[in-house]
Chains A and B, each alone.
Chain A
Amino acid sequence: MAKFIRKKGQGAQKINTSSLPDIIFMLLFFFMVSTTMRETEVQVQITPTEVSEVKKLEQKSLVSYIYIGRPAKHLQGLYGSEPMIQMNDKLVNEEGIPTESVQDFVLSEREKLPENEKNKMVMSLRIDQDIPMGKVDDVKQALRRAKALIINYSARKDYEEQGRGSF
Chain B
Amino acid sequence: MAKRELQEINAGSMADIAFLLLIFFLVATTMDVDTGLTRLLPPIPEEEEKQEVKVKERNVLVVLINRNDQLMVDGEFGTRLDQLKDITMEFFTNPADDQNLPEMEPKEVEFPRGSSPLLPPDGVWRGDVSKGVISLQNDRSTTYQKYLLVQNELVAAVNQLRQNFCKLYFDKDYDDLNMNNPRDKEIAEAIRDVYKMNISEATPKNIKGLN
Query: Does any Cβ of A come within 8 Å of B90's Cβ?
Result: no
| Interface band, chain B | 35 or more
**Does the CB pair A167–B80 fall under 8 Å?**
yes
CA distance A141 to B201 in the complex (A): 11
**Does the CB pair B36–A57 fall under 8 Å?**
yes
- Classify the interface of chain A: helix, strand, loop or mixed: mixed
Chain-B contact segment, one of A1-9, A34-42, A102-110: A34-42
Expressed in whole angstroms, the minimum distance between the Cβ of A105 and any Cβ of chain B is: 16
Query: How many residues belonging to A are interface residues under a CB distance threshold of 8 Å?
Result: 58
CA distance A136 to B35 in the complex (A): 19
Query: Does any Cβ of A come within 8 Å of B115's Cβ?
Result: no
Query: Does any Cβ of B come within 8 Å of A80's Cβ?
Result: no
**Does the CB pair B149–A163 fall under 8 Å?**
yes
In the complex, chain B residues whose CB is within 8 Å of the CB of A153:
36-39, 148, 151
CA distance A164 to B85 in the complex (A): 11
A-contact bits for B132-165, CB 8 A (1 contact / 0 none): 0000001111111101110110011001000000
Which residues of A, 119-137, contact B by the 8 Å Cβ criterion? 122, 124-125, 127-134, 136-137
CA distance A129 to B138 in the complex (A): 15
Which residues of A line the B interface, CB within 8 A?
Answer: 17-18, 20-21, 24-25, 27-28, 31-32, 34-38, 49, 51-57, 60, 63, 122, 124-125, 127-134, 136-137, 140-141, 143-145, 147, 149-157, 163-167
